[in-house]
Chains A and B, each alone.
Chain A
């Protein structure tokens, strides 16, 4: 079966090459990539004008363009020069052996959507298999709660090389943490995080959850410094976005293909086939599902979801000057934009195989990777969008033209530039800065790298009131803690759990807005207490699978006094910040003789602070937790040894308080 699947996908790839549109896109893309690497020598960072020393500037640059400075990294940046460092980051081609080593064994990371969809099965797919193998009876309502069912399913899955979706999800989450913490190409990861959030898709939606890994890998990461239109088009055509915002199911019969007599007959045949499948299938739950699909089929048509959000959230912004009519027209222009059938044995796949590439091409279909343009589901009539007319029978290219138009509009430039400035400069960037960035966007056809260059070439980026003005997101807090202490993370899922507790369950944000990017969103009573608790748990070695050697950060010299420890570790963790306030406050704490003992006792009996299970996680996730527990018990508390060796719990404690302190929440 596997071989057959492969041959089909190869066929599709060959087809893609035959389409001139697809080919020319590839050329364009390659061109913009090469331009990027040659045109980057106009960085002139005006930090001196803004009153910063070079060292302060390096620290600021690291706090905004990386996930936080590692010990000694400020010196490294000074050594190679700020401009050169930034240039390297834009090229994003530094070797990443540490990341590669840590990602070894995560086999899903390189798979295609097709392999993933047929390997990492969602709960719905598992139920299907269960029904097919008669594990659950015809009256079961689609639940696999019972252990005996699960055991039987597991046997079948092992035999056929199938895996539960949760394993894919775990790898997705783990790789993000690992890349952010350990990649040398930090800015690429920061921008990947930024653009993913801009084009948010969510694990909470079953239809798209299998494609989120490739969405980040194929649509986002390769395009983070590219022209915005490339990013927009790549996301628009990716299965994750097509499913998340429903465009894959937004269709029209307003085209010649649908009106052909043969077509109507073919439709009948399909329905008959589904009916006969229905008769064969003894599972009532599955039957109900099929019935629902049939009734949905009968009334199929337009869905405005993506069309609205692409203007509101991805390009123009909510005040970008579009109307409800524009939303409907964009939706019509994008009808037929869908996903190639990926499931083996699926009805769609058979139809496509039978149709053959020649016929598809002749009829105006278009395949590009996993993207499928269905000419038979496209609204062929003319449209007027934002005052521009798109004439009849625009086909696939019409949708591309619409997206390119949206990318090039001044309101889009403003919206995108503001979002970038808010991420990198302050929650309220000045109009002066925004105007400069917007100009660059419009004169450089939306090239993101150019916009970033304009931003860092502006004094506003370096001004006193921008320094330390941004509050770290929970993700940024955890990753910057790992980086600042050279911590070794063996169980990234534990870091994810802490991020969830602090309010950022990444990859799970349900709304297409993505997480809001402002301090007021992250900082509230509950999250603040959790940030402090994170600092303590992290530094005292109480997060399973996270080891850190705090003494190594000081060349294994034990600080000669508590005050010395405070000074040393504040400087390591918060380079180029004003330490006095922190140190003054903390001196009182560490001079309490008994504190060390108390902390020691507390730390040693503290169980993992996040052992609670998340109530809304799926059954299979418990297996994951069991795995981690097993790993823990095997090694029997491996995680606090290095921290507490040499009775340095005070150092750990001080570090924990520094991480939980207000200063460390700022970037």
Chain B
């Protein structure tokens, strides 16, 4: 295996330079630095996207052939046979929402898999509880202090760089809480003490801040301070400012698009990213959800186009990356009184990668007949989210300890990855 130091010495710099349209200073800096981070091999990366607010899985990937659906959702029903805004038929039973058009080629290409009927065994319909449970990975235990992705990081078994687990959010998500160093940042460009014109002054000020944070008695400030300065030293923000995605790649100008673009930068910079986290909001469609033009359609478009752009931008790095989406629960099978849907149980998720056995909908859903619904109203959870998360993480990141990953869970992982 080529380690980082050897990689930099090997003249591979040229490849990097062409990728950014400029010389990647941070590599030069890192190379010159005596305090080089522990050498590590080029890593696999798992990128998780949390759709906060509970995506309506029954509309995103619709079991249109079920006769009950049209009755349950008179004005929200869609099918592949419509003239305009038809579903993209996946297998004669499920159809993908037309706003997910950017996913179609990936599905046809067998890189995108869909898992349906996914959710938590805990039937809470509170967003915040359900998100907590899913992110902690312990659906019946609120006391779990760590997040499941933080435990993934702990299982990787090699030394981290400051950029091993990065969340492109203004606050650290519950998924990354825990002992393993994780980093949250909204905008990579913020990684500098801003004394722009006189780098010397900036450095001195940064140093004094570093010492102050090093000495503080407050654990939180102390620990985070350390992580901040380590990361700051490693990243040169000029490279980020000048980043150009690959030709023809257009990221939607949205929160998710911007987050994924920055994850792409980190991957291409090879700063040691192994777990990336981004989120997308606005899925809580209680009112006027709409079909082809409503709030959900807009969100699905942004969601799929952001992911598709990210995937295209990765190009040569695709083999190393798997993307998995998640949402806290699904929505009621029936539409509510305001043209929307209320909090339900199971939803669906997407997994994208070159080692994904894509092109299929993985599911154990029975039907939408009243007797098959949970509490007579919701698509029941037929696949535990932990079965999917563990299946993807274990295979892609080569880890194997489900007892640590999801304590209290003894089920089998869903096998949707190529071996």
- Knowing A295-B75, A536-B194 are in contact, say whether A528-B228 is a contact too (CB < 8 A): yes
Cβ-based interface call for A533 (8 A): yes
Cβ-based interface call for B337 (8 A): yes
- Knowing A298-B75, A301-B337, A615-B253 are in contact, say whether A662-B222 is a contact too (CB < 8 A): yes
The residues of B that contact A3 with a CB separation of less than 8 Å are none
Binds A, one of B152-160, B212-220, B395-403: B212-220
Cβ-based interface call for A657 (8 A): yes
Bound together, the chains give a CA A581 to CA B286 distance in angstroms of 53
Cβ-based interface call for B31 (8 A): no
Considering residues A301, A524, A588, A589, which has the most beta carbons from chain B within 10 angstroms of its beta carbon? A524
Bound together, the chains give a CA A456 to CA B190 distance in angstroms of 39
Among candidates A524, A589, A660, residue contacting B183 with C-beta atoms closer than 8 Å? A524
Bound together, the chains give a CA A510 to CA B127 distance in angstroms of 13
Among candidates A524, A585, A607, residue contacting B212 with C-beta atoms closer than 8 Å? A585
Q: A237 → chain B, closest Cβ, in Å? A: 19
Across the interface, do A300 and B337 meet the contact criterion of CB distance under 8 Å? yes
Mask, A321-333, CB within 8 Å of B = 1, is 0001001000000
Across the interface, do A292 and B288 meet the contact criterion of CB distance under 8 Å? yes
The residues of B that contact A648 with a CB separation of less than 8 Å are none
Mask, B186-226, CB within 8 Å of A = 1, is 11001111111110111011011101110110101110110
Beta-carbon contacts under 8 Å, A231-248 to B: 246
Across the interface, do B224 and A528 meet the contact criterion of CB distance under 8 Å? yes
Cβ-based interface call for A501 (8 A): yes
- Knowing A525-B185, A581-B215, A598-B204 are in contact, say whether A609-B195 is a contact too (CB < 8 A): no
- Knowing A525-B184, A662-B225 are in contact, say whether A602-B196 is a contact too (CB < 8 A): yes
Across the interface, do B171 and A524 meet the contact criterion of CB distance under 8 Å? yes
Across the interface, do A303 and B286 meet the contact criterion of CB distance under 8 Å? yes
- Knowing A249-B338, A302-B337, A609-B194 are in contact, say whether A526-B187 is a contact too (CB < 8 A): yes
Cβ-based interface call for A9 (8 A): no
Residue on B nearest A501 in the bound complex, by CB:
B190
Across the interface, do A519 and B220 meet the contact criterion of CB distance under 8 Å? yes
Across the interface, do B128 and A601 meet the contact criterion of CB distance under 8 Å? no
Binds A, one of B1-9, B91-99, B339-347, B362-370: B339-347
Across the interface, do B127 and A299 meet the contact criterion of CB distance under 8 Å? no
The residues of B that contact A607 with a CB separation of less than 8 Å are 196
Bound together, the chains give a CA A653 to CA B201 distance in angstroms of 10
The residues of A that contact B212 with a CB separation of less than 8 Å are 581-582, 585-586, 657, 661-663
Among candidates B74, B197, B227, residue contacting A525 with C-beta atoms closer than 8 Å? B227
Across the interface, do B193 and A598 meet the contact criterion of CB distance under 8 Å? no
Q: A339 → chain B, closest Cβ, in Å? A: 14
The residues of B that contact A468 with a CB separation of less than 8 Å are 218
Across the interface, do B288 and A660 meet the contact criterion of CB distance under 8 Å? no
Beta-carbon contacts under 8 Å, A592-618 to B: 592, 594-595, 598-599, 601-603, 605-607, 609, 615-616
Q: B234 → chain A, closest Cβ, in Å? A: 12
Bound together, the chains give a CA A606 to CA B205 distance in angstroms of 15
Across the interface, do B338 and A525 meet the contact criterion of CB distance under 8 Å? no
Cβ-based interface call for A666 (8 A): yes
Cβ-based interface call for A532 (8 A): yes
The residues of B that contact A530 with a CB separation of less than 8 Å are 190
Cβ-based interface call for B37 (8 A): no
Bound together, the chains give a CA A300 to CA B286 distance in angstroms of 12
Interface residues on B, range: 35 or more
Cβ-based interface call for A305 (8 A): yes
Bound together, the chains give a CA A660 to CA B194 distance in angstroms of 12
The residues of A that contact B253 with a CB separation of less than 8 Å are 615
The residues of A that contact B224 with a CB separation of less than 8 Å are 523-525, 528
Bound together, the chains give a CA A572 to CA B129 distance in angstroms of 43
Q: A278 → chain B, closest Cβ, in Å? A: 17
Beta-carbon contacts under 8 Å, B238-260 to A: 253-255, 258
Bound together, the chains give a CA A263 to CA B192 distance in angstroms of 66
Cβ-based interface call for B86 (8 A): no
Considering residues A324, A595, A603, A666, which has the most beta carbons from chain B within 10 angstroms of its beta carbon? A324
The residues of A that contact B105 with a CB separation of less than 8 Å are none
Cβ-based interface call for B18 (8 A): no
Q: A31 → chain B, closest Cβ, in Å? A: 36
Q: A330 → chain B, closest Cβ, in Å? A: 13
The residues of A that contact B106 with a CB separation of less than 8 Å are none
Cβ-based interface call for A318 (8 A): yes
Considering residues A299, A530, A653, which has the most beta carbons from chain B within 10 angstroms of its beta carbon? A299
Bound together, the chains give a CA A305 to CA B284 distance in angstroms of 10
The residues of B that contact A296 with a CB separation of less than 8 Å are 75, 288, 338-339
Across the interface, do B75 and A662 meet the contact criterion of CB distance under 8 Å? no
The residues of A that contact B287 with a CB separation of less than 8 Å are 246, 249, 303
Q: B230 → chain A, closest Cβ, in Å? A: 9
Considering residues B185, B212, B228, which has the most beta carbons from chain A within 10 angstroms of its beta carbon? B212
Across the interface, do B197 and A601 meet the contact criterion of CB distance under 8 Å? yes
Across the interface, do A602 and B281 meet the contact criterion of CB distance under 8 Å? no
Interface residues on A, range: 35 or more
Across the interface, do A304 and B343 meet the contact criterion of CB distance under 8 Å? yes
Cβ-based interface call for A112 (8 A): no
Mask, B117-137, CB within 8 Å of A = 1, is 000000011111100000000
Across the interface, do B52 and A308 meet the contact criterion of CB distance under 8 Å? no
Bound together, the chains give a CA A501 to CA B208 distance in angstroms of 22
Cβ-based interface call for A29 (8 A): no
Bound together, the chains give a CA A594 to CA B200 distance in angstroms of 10
Residue on B nearest A474 in the bound complex, by CB:
B170
The residues of A that contact B373 with a CB separation of less than 8 Å are none
Mask, A274-295, CB within 8 Å of B = 1, is 0000000000000010001001
Mask, B307-321, CB within 8 Å of A = 1, is 000000000000000
Among candidates B128, B232, B281, residue contacting A318 with C-beta atoms closer than 8 Å? B128
Across the interface, do B336 and A666 meet the contact criterion of CB distance under 8 Å? no
Beta-carbon contacts under 8 Å, B142-196 to A: 170-172, 177, 183-187, 190-196
- Knowing A511-B52, A529-B192, A602-B202 are in contact, say whether A305-B255 is a contact too (CB < 8 A): no
Across the interface, do A528 and B225 meet the contact criterion of CB distance under 8 Å? yes
- Knowing A525-B183, A616-B255, A653-B205 are in contact, say whether A305-B195 is a contact too (CB < 8 A): no
Beta-carbon contacts under 8 Å, A39-61 to B: none
Q: A139 → chain B, closest Cβ, in Å? A: 15
Q: A194 → chain B, closest Cβ, in Å? A: 19
Across the interface, do B208 and A585 meet the contact criterion of CB distance under 8 Å? yes
The residues of B that contact A594 with a CB separation of less than 8 Å are 200
- Knowing A249-B338, A299-B335 are in contact, say whether A471-B208 is a contact too (CB < 8 A): no
The residues of A that contact B216 with a CB separation of less than 8 Å are 581, 662-663
Bound together, the chains give a CA A305 to CA B336 distance in angstroms of 11
Residues of B at the A interface (CB closer than 8 Å) are 52-53, 74-75, 124-129, 170-172, 177, 183-187, 190-198, 200-202, 204-205, 207-209, 211-213, 215-216, 218, 220-222, 224-225, 227-228, 231-232, 253-255, 258, 281-282, 284, 286-288, 290, 293-294, 335-340, 342-343, 375
Known: A521-B171, A528-B213. 6 other contacts (CB 8 A): A292-B290, A298-B75, A299-B337, A299-B339, A300-B337, A501-B190
What are 7 contact pairs spanning A and B, CB under 8 A?
Answer: A249-B287, A526-B170, A594-B200, A598-B204, A657-B212, A662-B213, A666-B218
Residues of A at the B interface (CB closer than 8 Å) are 204, 246, 249-252, 288, 292, 295-296, 298-305, 308, 312, 318, 324, 327, 468, 471, 501, 503, 510-511, 513, 516, 519-530, 532-533, 536-537, 581-582, 585-586, 588-589, 592, 594-595, 598-599, 601-603, 605-607, 609, 615-616, 653, 656-657, 660-663, 665-666
Q: Which 6 A-B pairs have the closest CB atoms?
A: A301-B337, A526-B185, A662-B216, A598-B201, A296-B339, A503-B170
